[in-house]
Amino acid sequence: MQTQIIVLAAGKGTRMHSALPKVLHLLAGKPLLAHVLDTAQRLPGQRTWVVAGVDLTLVQQACVGYPVSWVAQREPLGTAHAVSQALPELDDTGTALILYGDVPLLEPATLTAMVASAALGALALLTAHTEHPTGYGRILRDGSGAVIGIVEEKDATPEQRARTEINTGIIAVPVQKLRAWLARVGNANAQGEYYLTDIVALAAAEGAMIQTFHPHSLAEIEGVNDRAQLARLERHYQKSHAERLLAAGATLADPARFDCRGELRVGRDVFIDINCVFEGRVMLGDDVRIGPNCVIRDAQIGRGAVIKANTLIEGPVVVAAGAQVGPFARLREGTHIGEQARIGNFVETKQAEFGRGSKANHLAYVGDAWLGEDVNVGAGTITCNYDGVAKHRTNIGAGAFIGSNSALVAPVTVGPGATIGAGSTITVDVPAEHLGVGRGKQRNIPGWQRPSKKDEH
C-alpha cells in the first residue's frame, strides 16, 4: 500500500520577517523543506506532494531534483484547507502522512511506526509531553485516557491550556477516512481557519481507532516559526552531528564549535580543532588533522594529511596522504596536492596539480598548472595564467627549482631539473636541467649621492 506524503509549506512565515519563504531558510546549509523531503524520500513506497502558497515558484526552484508533485494553496485558510488542496490527487486505497515543511528534524523511524498503524486503519498522531506547551495545540483525553480531540491554544480554556501533551501536527491516516472527515471540518474558531486537528474529534466521535506516537527527542518535532528557533535547531543539529563523529572515533577540540553544512565522512583518529566549517562533501582519511578556523568544501583529504589553521578549501580539491597545507592557504577548485607535498601560508592554487613532495611554502599563486614531483616553488612566484582573454597552462617538470618572485608567463614549460633565477619573468620554455634567468642585470654605481633636501631659509 502506498504512503502518500503531504508536506504543508504554504504558511505565511510572518515571524521570520524575511523576503525569503520560511521553508527556504537554511538549516545546516540546506533549506528546511529539503530536510523534510529528504526524510520523506527515506520512507519506503512513498509518493510526495508539497502544498505551497504564493511563493510556489520560488520554493519549487529551490527544490528542483526532488521527485515530488506540487500543489498550490492560493490562500492560507488553515491546515485542513491545505491538505484538501492535495486530496484530489490521492489514491483512496493508500495511507496519507502529513508533514510540515518547517519541521526539519523528524526521524524516519518515528514516521514508519505511524504509517504502519494507519495502514491498519488507525488515525496515528505524533504527540509529545513538554513543560513548555505554549503555542501548540493540546491533546484532549477522556477519563480512560482515550484521545477525544485537539484544541488549538487560541481556542483553549485555561484548564485545557494547562495540559502538557501537545500536538506536533504530524498525522498518518487512511486516505479514505481523511477525505470523509475533512469534508466535515468547518472554520468556526478563534482564527477563522480550517483546522486539520478537528478531524481528531470527528474520528473519536465515530469510535475510530486513534493511536499516539512520541518522538525520541523534542528537537525532532520542533518547528521553525522565528529565527531564534531556527538558531536553536541549528545548534541542536550540529551538536548531534558532532556527537556522531565522536562516537565514530574522531576527536573534536570542542563539539560545541563544530559546523557541518553537508556530508562529512571521517576515518579513524581524525582530529578537528575549533571553529571549522565543512560544506558539501568532505572526506577525511585516517589520522588527518584539521587546525582551527578552517573552511573546507568538497574535498578529499588523504590519510595523515595536516590542514593548518585558517585554511580555506573550495573544492573539488584532493589533498593526498601525508601532505601539509596552510596556515592561511587557499586551495580552489581543481587543485590536487600530491602525497607529502606542502602548501604554505598565503598560497593560492586553482586547477593545479602538485606532484608528490612538491612545495610552495609561501606567498604564491599557482593556477592552470601541472607540477611534477619534488618541485620547489619559491616565495612570491606567480603563474601568469590569464592574458585578459584566455587561460594558459604552465608545466613544471620534476625536480625543478623556481626562484623567489618569479613570474611564469603561460603558456610556458619549465623542464625537469631546471632552475629559474629569482626575480625572473619567464616567457619562453626552459629546457631540462637549464638555468633560466630573465631579469634586468644589476649595476653598482660607486660614490652615489642620494638627493638631499634644500635648506629652506
CB of 202 to Ca ion, least distance (A): 22
Radius of gyration, alpha carbons of the chain? 31
Among 79, 324, 381, 419, binds ligand UD1 (CB under 6 A): 79
* One residue of 5, 37, 166, 294 binding ligand UD1 per CB under 6 A: 166
284 binds, among Ca ion, ligand UD1, none (CB under 5 to 8 A by kind): none
- Residue 449 CA to residue 454 CA, distance in Å, equals 14
For ligand UD1, which residue of 32, 37, 51, 377 counts as binding (CB under 6 A)?
51
Of the candidates 290, 296, 300, 329, the one whose C-alpha atom is nearest the C-alpha of residue 313 is 296
Handedness of CA 328, 333, 338, 339 (dihedral sign): positive
For ligand UD1, the binding residue among 26, 43, 54, 77 (CB under 6 A) is 77
At a CB cut-off of 8 Å and minimum separation 6, what does 270 contact?
249, 250, 251, 284, 285, 286, 287, 288, 289, 290
Q: By CB under 5 A, is residue 104 in contact with Ca ion?
A: no
Please provide residue 419's backbone torsions phi and psi, each rounded to the nearest 5 degrees.
Answer: -125, 140
With CB under 5 to 8 Å by kind, the binding choice for 267 among Ca ion, ligand UD1, none is none
Distance CA 393, CA 367 (A): 8
DSSP 117: H
Nearer to Ca ion, 168 or 419 (CB): 168
List the catalytic residues: 362
Report if residue 81 touches ligand UD1, rule: CB under 6 A.
Answer: yes
Binders of Ca ion in range 210-249 (CB under 5 A): 223
For residue 227, give the 3-state DSSP assignment.
helix
Nearer to Ca ion, 134 or 444 (CB): 134
Q: Which of 223, 291, 338, 436 binds ligand UD1 (CB under 6 A)?
A: 223
Let me know: does 355 contact 339? Beta carbons within 8 Å. Answer: no
Q: What distance in Å separates the CA atoms of residue 452 and residue 457, rounded to the nearest whole number?
A: 15
Pairing of strands 401-402, 419-420: parallel
Choices 190-198, 247-255, 256-264, 422-430 (CB under 6 A): range interacting with ligand UD1: 190-198
Q: How far is the CB of 10 from ligand UD1 (least distance, A)?
A: 3
Sign of the CA dihedral running 176, 177, 181, 182? negative
Based on the shown chain and the rule CB under 6 A, indicate whether residue 11 belongs to the binding site for ligand UD1. Answer: yes
The verdict on 78 binding ligand UD1 (CB under 6 A) reads yes
- 77/283 with CB nearer ligand UD1: 77
- Scanning 64-72, 165-173, 399-407, 417-425 for contacts with ligand UD1 by CB under 6 A, the matching segment is 165-173
Residue 173 touches which member of ligand UD1, Ca ion, none, C-beta under 5-8 Å by kind: none
Q: Is 137 or 403 the residue whose CB approaches Ca ion more closely? A: 137
Cα 164 from chain centre: 34
Smallest gap from Cβ 140 to Ca ion, in A, equals 19
Task: Work out the end-to-end distance of the chain between its first and last CA atoms, rounded to an integer number of angstroms.
Answer: 103
CB contact at 8 A, 293 and 299: no
Distance CA 50, CA 33 (A): 9
Quote the least distance from Cβ 231 to ligand UD1, whole Å.
18
Helix (H, G, I), strand (E, B) or coil at 180: helix
Size of the site for ligand UD1 (CB under 6 A): 27
13 binds Ca ion (CB under 5 A): no
Q: Which does 81 bind (CB under 5 to 8 A by kind): Ca ion, ligand UD1, none?
A: ligand UD1
Q: Is 215 in the site for ligand UD1 (CB under 6 A)?
A: no
In whole angstroms, give the CA distance from residue 135 to residue 387.
Answer: 62
CB of 83 to ligand UD1, least distance (A): 8
Should residue 9 be labelled a site residue for ligand UD1 when binding is judged by CB under 6 A?
Answer: yes
Work out the angle at residue 320's Cα, subtended by the Cα atoms of residues 353 and 404, and round it to the nearest 5 degrees: 45
Residues forming the site for Ca ion (CB under 5 A): 223
Residues forming the site for ligand UD1 (CB under 6 A): 8-11, 51, 73, 76-79, 81-82, 100-102, 136-137, 150, 152, 166-169, 195-197, 223
